[in-house]
A and B are shown apart, each in its own frame.
Chain A
């Protein structure tokens, strides 16, 4: 089974702190994604990556950055956390290919910024 592991399930951080959310996948997937999920807004794509050291902005990249130094690991970074970044963050991965890319999700990281 594909496994996408998010290192932290629940975090509480202070405004202005730098926050790292880590994600590891074990299926040699090329693509990795970070989404945030908020009530009434569904899933919104923050950043994604098609390859090591490669990143592309999603729909809401402001206030976030990412790092992909190894194929299996994709990190989301909040440079200076703010209260409006309180949310559930979902990491996902998929194979690169055309026409049928099923996405596999981690269990989510609940971040509260106080």
Chain B
């Protein structure tokens, strides 16, 4: 069953703008992770935020987690054309190491 749901499904912005993607989930989690997928390729891990953390940064990425609302957001600042990809959130439930993925947000950054 799908745990995470990303919003929006698709996002198109200009280079230099910020991109924000949201993820909602249904059940308690150990952590939430964001992955990136270039067209036709495998997924690459971007960042992990644990359930006791509220915000995390990695380079131009900023992730927030609100466990009371069961939601997370991924912010990419100063976007580049190379950021064009699909972005997935994945949740690890409290019962084990299995990740459940959402359907992804397709981000297009126009040069």
Q: Which residues of A contact B (CB under 8 A)?
A: 4, 31, 35, 40-43, 45, 48, 58-59, 90, 92, 94, 96-108, 110
Contacts and interface: CB of A to CB of B under 8 A. Distances in A.
B43 interface: yes
B58 to A, nearest CB: 13
Contacts of B35: 103, 105
| Chain B interface mostly | strand
A42 to B, nearest CB: 4
A105 B97 contact: no
B30 A99 contact: yes
Nearest to B4: A42
Q: Kindly name the residue among A35, A42, A90, A92 whose own CB sees the greatest number of chain B CB atoms within 10 A.
A: A42
13 contacts: A4-B42, A42-B88, A42-B103, A45-B98, A48-B98, A58-B98, A99-B50, A100-B48, A103-B33, A103-B45, A103-B90, A105-B42, A107-B41
A90 B43 contact: yes
Q: Which of B33, B43, B48, B104 has the most CB of A within 10 A?
A: B43
